[in-house]
A and B are shown apart, each in its own frame.
Chain A
Amino acid sequence: MFEYMGKEIFAEFGLPVPKGRMVSNPDEATQVAREIGGSVVIKSQVLSGKRGKAGGIKFVDNPEGARAAAEELFGMTIQGLPVNILLVEEKLQIDQELYLSITIDAAAKKPVLIASSHGGMDIEDVAEEYIIKKYIDVELGMQGFIANDVVRRMGIALNTPQAKELVKIIVTLYKVFTQKDADLVEINPLVISGEKVIAADAKVTIDDEALYRQRDLPLVEDRTVVEQAAHELGLSFVELDGDIGVMANGAGITMGTLDTIVYYGGRPANFLDAGGGTGEEGTAKALELILSRNPKSIVINIFGGITRCDDVARAFASVKSKVGIPVPVVIRLVGTNQEAGRAILKEVGIEAYDFMQDAIKKAVELAK
């Protein structure tokens, strides 16, 4: 999700964000700068953490300066990503930069709040003694006393207006985190500006699995076109840079297949987990995706449990006779209904392998 989208969510929950708006051309940028008045900051909206260093953020003093800066930024690419949207905001007076985030700690199986009085830089670069970590009990939730204590540990006097603001921000940020099914909510920097505390940046990442109940959220895809097509088919696909196409059933065995290809000196072209049950249509689409990477050979590794070998074989034979497959295919097929599956493959001229290592060795040879 882009920064401006995160800030719109923050604003909706009542978190303080700078005055400003997203724009998609220099005219709008000039207009928004005029509305805000005075100095503004213009920030490229790309999904990259290195915007500042790449020159994607500019400070200007007036609307005409905003136009010039916007014209320059719209022509830029940052780490290969084109700049299509800018965020124009009031320039904040910065007294101190803080860091605040809530994410999921898989080992602790809990949310963890991370705070620091040293914000504005990558949290990985902040010295250990300035980082405050607080695990949150999901049944207890974020209580006021927890936020209070985090602020105390940040070294901010609790009797100041800034501390009161900060407690409110921590409690509210946790609401955003839970109500929006976030993997991560991050404010860096969180700026102390006079008596105010303002979220100068916003990073919000939503759990993919929860999108069915977060339909009102704006979405930015970070998958490639082919990966997105696979996602829509319910297949898990990752593009790699080799020349051996891969299809297997299950994430672990697919990884094991890639590892074995590399072990024998080959280079996989993709990761494709076809999942538990793949019918004829699914197999056809999966093969289409694999072929789109122009592999020199393809290895299919099926250990059928829930997946039935005859189903896989039938689907493959049908695709082969209807569409044709221009490169050699090696199939390892064992498990449920394996005899029936192998008989079907034999009819289309393919001898199935018993062991994955033999099939993979062959596929590597064929790619050379």
Chain B
Amino acid sequence: MAIIIDENTNVVVQGISGKQGIFHTKQMLAYGTKVIAGTSPGKGGTIIEGVPVYDSVRAACEVHRIDASVIFIPAPFAKDAALEALEAGIKVVVVVTEHIPVHDEMAIVAYAKRVNAVVIGPNTFGIVSSGKCKIGIPPNQFFIPGSVGVVARSGTLTYEIVGNLTTQGIGQSTVVGMGGDRVVGLTFVDVLRMFEQDPETKVVVLIGEIGGNAEEEASQYIKDMTKPVVAYIAGKSAPPGKRMGHAGAIIERGNGTYEGKVNALTLAGARVVELPFEVPGIVQEILGKF
């Protein structure tokens, strides 16, 4: 078990002929992901990295059973690509692309909700069910199978924390990157609920950051969880009113502060660590009790 994707997930790469598409198709195949098709309008019938290329997602779906899509398409065209995958009936769509206009993101998320599909991102590193399937861009070597579920808003911070877990021999069930933008497909609660129900996941690591109220909402659900949650919130030292890299990482009118998030999580029973490298020690301590 794992959540959202596993060893049986068939993946189509949209934008497979671009530089990013080619590179990450190769990496995903090396990790063991079943990349069974790619799309690139006008390049249908060609083969890239051993993967058959089609002119459209519909064309690929006529030949293969496809469970998930990953999008390596520039921002101006990403909305069209995401809607194409959703309209073709694909239930998991990973949008790696960053800098997508927020109005396009709202349109993608609204349509996904209507067709009952999961959108991961936009502006995400993707999702990894360790040892089974990787969809997106994280470096392969940091993900080993285990019982820790990880959900995050930020990419490299996730590599830092997952890398430290792996170094200490602590593997992961699934690692989910929700995306750094203001409007993304998943919420912490969506993912926490899946981890709560996943038999393989014993502990959940939540990696949040300042801005918005996603962590506060997560706290409401954490109260009712049976599984322990370890949380790190980035941006304790960030000044108000400044966007810290991510579009969503900003303290506005006193909302989205570090203190507010930490208080909510602590009250809900989560173990909040102050610094990113403290996560493995706490996880180890909790796992030791099982």
**Which residues of chain B have C-beta atoms less than 8 A from A348's C-beta?**
none
Q: Which of A217-254 contact B (CB under 8 A)?
A: 236, 238, 240, 248-254
A341 within 8 A of B: no
Q: Which of A150-189 contact B (CB under 8 A)?
A: 178, 181, 183
Cβ contact within 8 Å between A252 and B103? no
A287 within 8 A of B: no
Chain B interface size, as a band, is: 35 or more
Contact of A260 among B102, B182, B275 (CB under 8 A): B275
Cβ contact within 8 Å between B238 and A303? no
B158 within 8 A of A: yes
A256 within 8 A of B: yes
A265 vs B243: C-alpha distance in the bound complex, in angstroms?
23
Cβ contact within 8 Å between A256 and B234? yes
A175 vs B264: C-alpha distance in the bound complex, in angstroms?
38
Cβ contact within 8 Å between A250 and B156? yes
Cβ contact within 8 Å between A110 and B110? yes
**Which residues of chain A have C-beta atoms less than 8 A from B277's C-beta?**
355-357
Q: Which of B28-36, B44-52, B135-143, B222-230 contacts A (4 or more CB under 8 A)?
A: B135-143
Q: Which of B60-68, B195-203, B246-254 contacts A (4 or more CB under 8 A)?
A: B246-254
A334 within 8 A of B: yes
Cβ contact within 8 Å between B103 and A251? no
Cβ contact within 8 Å between B101 and A181? yes
Contact of B103 among A124, A207, A248 (CB under 8 A): A207
**Which residues of chain A have C-beta atoms less than 8 A from B110's C-beta?**
109-110, 137-139
**Which residues of chain A have C-beta atoms less than 8 A from B8's C-beta?**
none
A261 within 8 A of B: yes
Contact of B153 among A252, A263, A303 (CB under 8 A): A252
A107 within 8 A of B: yes
**Which residues of chain A have C-beta atoms less than 8 A from B180's C-beta?**
251-252
Cβ contact within 8 Å between A107 and B213? yes
A281 vs B252: C-alpha distance in the bound complex, in angstroms?
34
Nearest CB in chain A to that of B112: its residue: A109
B42 within 8 A of A: no
B281 within 8 A of A: no
Cβ contact within 8 Å between A104 and B156? no
Minimum C-beta distance from A141 to chain B (A): 11
A111 vs B212: C-alpha distance in the bound complex, in angstroms?
15
Task: Known contacts A255-B235, A258-B237; decide if A250 and B183 are in contact (CB<8 Å).
Answer: no
Query: B residues bordering A, Cβ < 8 Å?
Result: 75-76, 99-103, 105-107, 109-111, 114, 137-139, 142, 152-160, 163, 180, 182-184, 187, 207, 209-210, 212-214, 217, 232, 234-239, 242-249, 253, 274-277
Query: A residues bordering B, Cβ < 8 Å?
Result: 104, 106-107, 109-111, 124, 137-139, 178, 181, 183, 207-210, 212-213, 236, 238, 240, 248-256, 258-263, 268, 271, 273, 303-306, 334-336, 355-357
| Given A106-B248, A250-B155, 7 further pairs, Cβ under 8 A | A106-B182, A207-B102, A249-B156, A250-B157, A252-B157, A252-B158, A303-B163
A-B contact pairs, 9 of them (CB 8 A): A109-B183, A110-B106, A209-B247, A213-B101, A250-B155, A251-B245, A252-B245, A255-B157, A335-B163
